[in-house]
């Protein structure tokens, strides 16, 4: 099996129960391909870690942003714990090098890997919580994830771009934005979409993403910049 000693050195967190640490990195596909190993996948740990992560992030935001409303705090938390951000953090920590995946999953470095990494980060938090308690988890999340908060607040990434552009468009140009897929490419497991945002017949901006929803968000963000509506 994989030796996690270098990972423990990097994170400066030494697990008492090495099997818990290992389990955090085992994807269901690996178990399906290697049923004789008698190992368990990480989904239960992910379930636990997701709840612990949400509590710590919520507590941090509640205390730090005392003037924010419930809705603003919820939006900020969603921006912070989304799969894109968490998978980036997991990759920065080095988790990608320790994943136990099926041969098929191991070859896929697209959107699916992003979600696997995000889920592994949550499973690791669940394992760390069981192994060393909430204080150590709190330190780990403060060190790895919470520094991203300032960037999200400064760039106003916590605001949903589609909602904001709809609000601004109705206020300033009396149009409800419409979205249209302009181009799509790639195989089913790694699609790429280009979406246009329109005010009436006029194409205002375009956005690209690995799903229609992601491309629409990018198009909305671009439209806000084009119209100078980012206050």
Residues designated as active site: 50, 122
Task: Give the number of C-alpha atoms closer than 13 A to the C-alpha of residue 64, restricted to the C-beta side.
Answer: 16
- DSSP 3-state percent helix, strand, coil across the chain (nearest 5): 65, 10, 25
The response to whether 119 counts as a known ligand-binding position is yes
- Candidates 172, 210, 142; CA nearest to 164 is 172
User: Is 122 known to sit in a ligand binding site?
Assistant: yes
The CA distance from 149 to 153, in Å, is 6
Cα–Cα distance between 190 and 109 in angstroms, integer? 9
Residue 212 φ then ψ, to 5°: -60, -40
Kind of pairing, strands 178-185 and 202-209? unpaired
Q: Is 54 annotated as contributing to ligand binding?
A: no
User: Residues marked as binding for Mg(2+)?
Assistant: 46, 119, 122
List, as residue ranges, the binding site: 46, 119, 122
């Amino acid at each position: 099996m994989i030796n996690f000693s270098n990972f423990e050195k990097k994170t400066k967190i030494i697990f008492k129960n090495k099997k818990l640490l290992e389990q955090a990195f085992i994807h269901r596909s690996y178990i399906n391909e290697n049923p004789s190993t008698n190992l368990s996948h990480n989904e239960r740990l992910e379930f636990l870690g997701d709840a612990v992560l949400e509590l710590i992030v919520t507590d941090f935001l509640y205390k730090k942003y005392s003037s924010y409303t419930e809705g603003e705090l919820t939006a900020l938390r969603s921006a912070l714990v989304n799969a894109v951000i968490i998978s980036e953090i997991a990759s920065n920590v080095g988790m990608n090098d320790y994943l136990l995946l099926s041969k098929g999953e191991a070859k896929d470095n697209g959107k699916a890997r992003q979600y696997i990494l995000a889920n592994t980060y949550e499973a690791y938090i669940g394992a760390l919580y069981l192994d060393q308690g909430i204080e150590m988890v709190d330190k780990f999340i403060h060190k790895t994830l919470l520094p991203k908060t300032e960037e999200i607040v400064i760039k106003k990434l916590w605001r949903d771009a589609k909602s904001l552009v709809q609000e601004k468009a109705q206020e300033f140009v009396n149009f409800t934005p419409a979205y249209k897929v302009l181009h799509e490419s790639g195989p089913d497991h790694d699609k790429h979409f280009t979406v246009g945002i329109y005010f009436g017949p006029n194409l205002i901006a375009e956005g690209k993403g690995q799903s229609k929803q992601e491309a629409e968000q990018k198009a909305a963000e671009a439209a806000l910049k084009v119209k100078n509506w980012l206050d």
